[in-house]
Structure 1
Amino acid sequence: MFTTRARWLAGGIVAALVLSPSVPAGAHYRRPVGRYVVPGDRAYPEGIVREPGTPYFYVGGMTDGTIWRGRIDQPRLEVFLPGGQDGRTSAVGMKITQGRLVVAGGTTGKVFVYRTRDRQLLHVFDSGARDGLVNDVAVAPNGDAYVTDSFRPVLYRITAAQLAKREIDQPLRTHVDFAGTPVRYDTGVNEEGINGNGLVVTPDGRFVLMADTNSQAFYRISTRTGAVDPIDLGGVTDIGADGLLLRDGTLYSVTSVFHPEGEISVLRLSKDYSRAQVQRRINGRGMDFPSTAAFDGDDLLVVNFQFQKAEPALPFTVVRVSLCTTAGLR
């Protein structure tokens, strides 16, 4: 993801991160595998989401918008939605809510929504901007969806009421304009202008927590007022803020900014989400320039994006990384 801005604008995308519940107790599937193959030598898989109550997970392709579906007990993914369909030429961050797959469309400036049961297109939310990078999606407890744009300094919101409408074509509206806030959109460590990136919504629905890749920072954004505050990291500056997950007061940041072999930073949040302390780092374990991940029980399913490499190591893969072992920590 840190090549040239022109390459990004040609079909680019960055990280997106996913939070999804694990398979419920009593569900019976074969033993999960540790490595999943994404078909295609130009796939560049970027986003991932785990569908609750099923054996399925979904992965999006940055370069042409293909969406693959995998089973946790089978080693190879299959095409779920072909690239280019419905004008979906890039697929980045994803979430699932009430059987609807919500997909950030990268440089299309759009968000696409599909019903997972029958693959039907339900909505296309269009920002109208073609100079942005619609990157990641997070769903609040009330059903609203928040969406980052890595090139344009805004946070979008799709309301639960919009998602419930029968109307397919709808506007993607700005919820927070970052002008005049602590968030600064400009070039940084990646030299690409990749700013607002992964995001999650807190369980109480009060805040969006957003990663800023350029500044290596995290921000707390009020869903009610739009007020933006930096999250105090205690002076730590090498986390590599990218795709995010949140569970039980712990924030997980998946990145390759400082570690091509992949790094998951595990941070404990204060009760008001204003502070975060690094507890540990997870490196390696089959990761290779990863972009994002999804929870699967006590594991993460990590996407090996590899967009930064001149020649990716084939095949493209999703790897299972356990959060329960101390192996590989520093």
Structure 2
Amino acid sequence: MKTFYTFSSVLLAVGFGLTACEDHRLSPNASFPERINFVAQRQYPEGFAYSAQLDRFLVSSITQGKVGTVDVNGNYADLIAPPELISSMGMRVADGRLFVCNADQGVSTKSTPQTTRKTAELLVFNIASRQLERRVDLDDLYTSPAHLANDLAVQPDGTVYVTDSFAPVIYKVMPNGQASVLVENPLFASATFGLNGIVYHPNGYLIVAVTSAGKLYKVDLKNGNAISEVGGLPNLPGDGLSLLNGDLYVVTGSGSQVAQLRSTDDWKTATVVKRDTEGYSQATTNVAVNGSIYSLNARIGEISAAMGDASKLQSNTYSIQKFR
């Protein structure tokens, strides 16, 4: 059992009250182009968010365990690089805090034999102070030969849900930091890469992508966490997910496109209403900003191609693409 510390636990629990909402829906001080190119040395930024507080996109780093910012002009700067963060994966911003999935695929400068393919954690940072406020161990909650915390969703009351791509579970972290397994199901199991993107729907359920199966599932939080496949869809190996104006945007096609999905029956079924295939290459995830969807071209395919050899990961150029 790993031992972790928690900062300002009482204040954090109060802060995670009923006002928790993502800090990226509207940023009137910024004008967003259709494409933003940026340079960040060996960043490999799998996770992506936006902070109106900083007026910047936030990008993670699989290889360096840090988080950086990118402005609308493509200027990159490091934001945080704490020693606890091995590989920063999925991220969300809510109530002035940055929620980050911490994992280890064995290609980070901080990777060790003890943490490689065995790490699933949730780290919470105060954006203003850049300080770590909470670190929650998740991998000890479920016995599995491998773990990888991939993506997360934040409920309005501050509850966080985290997917594990190497174990068939979704974790739940309460506003006070108490963690548990929300659901475990063989539908989420995979010999390669299982659970991936996740979103919280305001009607009280989660939508998650299982990449290897090419399917989306609904987890009904108001009905005993009942799990059902979202029907009516073609094979859709999903990565990152974002909701905007009731539609779901899915990074798919090995990061070569974003599919816009729509449902008329509360996501019992859905249809693909549009696919945007221009401007995407090895994309991972997306975020809603000012009424538009932006996706991150992260060179994610190079991670698996490196076969665990971090010296092969030397790319410095990345981009952010608007859905059209």
Is TM-score (shorter-chain normalized) higher than 0.5?
yes
Quote the Cα distance in structure 2 between the aligned partners of 1:149 and 1:31.
Answer: 32
Q: CA RMSD in A?
A: 2.2
Match of 1:121 among 132, 156, 175: 132
Quote the Cα distance in structure 1 between the aligned partners of 2:165 and 2:139.
Answer: 15
Three-state SS of the structure 2 residue aligned to 1:274 is coil
Contact 1:135 1:198 in 2 (8 A): yes
Aligned length: 276
Match of 2:9 in 1: none
Match of 2:246 in 1: 249
Give TM-score, length-normalised by structure 2.
0.79
Q: Are 1:195 and 2:210 an aligned pair?
A: no
Contact 2:188 2:195 in 1 (8 A): no
Contact 2:47 2:285 in 1 (8 A): yes
Quote the Cα distance in structure 2 between the aligned partners of 1:37 and 1:302.
Answer: 13
Matches within 5 A, 1:263-278: 263-278=257-272
Matches within 5 A, 1:300-311: 300-309=293-302
- Amino acid of the residue matched to residue 62 of structure 2? M
Three-state SS of the structure 1 residue aligned to 2:237 is coil
Contact 1:36 1:77 in 2 (8 A): no
Match of 1:211 in 2: 209
Quote the Cα distance in structure 2 between the aligned partners of 1:113 and 1:31.
Answer: 27
Unaligned segments of structure 1, at least 5 residues: 1-18, 163-170, 188-192, 324-330
- Amino acid of the residue matched to residue 50 of structure 2? R
Contact 2:196 2:208 in 1 (8 A): yes
Quote the Cα distance in structure 1 between the aligned partners of 2:130 and 2:121.
Answer: 18
Contact 2:244 2:291 in 1 (8 A): no
Matches within 5 A, 1:3-152: 21-24=24-27, 27-29=28-30, 32=33, 34-40=35-41, 42-52=42-52, 54-72=54-72, 74-82=73-81, 85-107=82-104, 108-129=119-140, 131-152=146-167
- Amino acid of the residue matched to residue 114 of structure 1? F
Match of 1:9 in 2: none
1:188-245 deviation line (CA, Å, top 9, x unaligned): xxxxx111110101112x11000000100000002241210111024x12x2222111
Contact 1:256 1:290 in 2 (8 A): no
Give TM-score, length-normalised by structure 1.
0.77
Quote the Cα distance in structure 1 between the aligned partners of 2:160 and 2:275.
Answer: 29
Match of 2:292 in 1: 299
Quote the Cα distance in structure 2 between the aligned partners of 1:321 and 1:31.
Answer: 9
Unaligned segments of structure 2, at least 5 residues: 1-21, 105-118, 306-311
Cα deviation, residue 76, structure 1: 1.6
Percent identical: 24
Runs of 4+ that moved beyond 2 A:
19-24, 27-34, 128-131, 298-301, 309-316
Quote the Cα distance in structure 2 between the aligned partners of 1:268 and 1:29.
Answer: 28
1:31-60 deviation line (CA, Å, top 9, x unaligned): 6573131410x2211111011354122110
- Amino acid of the residue matched to residue 85 of structure 2? R
Three-state SS of the structure 2 residue aligned to 1:45 is coil
Three-state SS of the structure 1 residue aligned to 2:242 is strand
Contact 1:23 1:53 in 2 (8 A): no
Match of 1:15 in 2: none
Match of 2:176 in 1: 161
Match of 1:174 in 2: 181
- Amino acid of the residue matched to residue 160 of structure 1? P
Contact 2:258 2:323 in 1 (8 A): no
Match of 1:281 in 2: 275
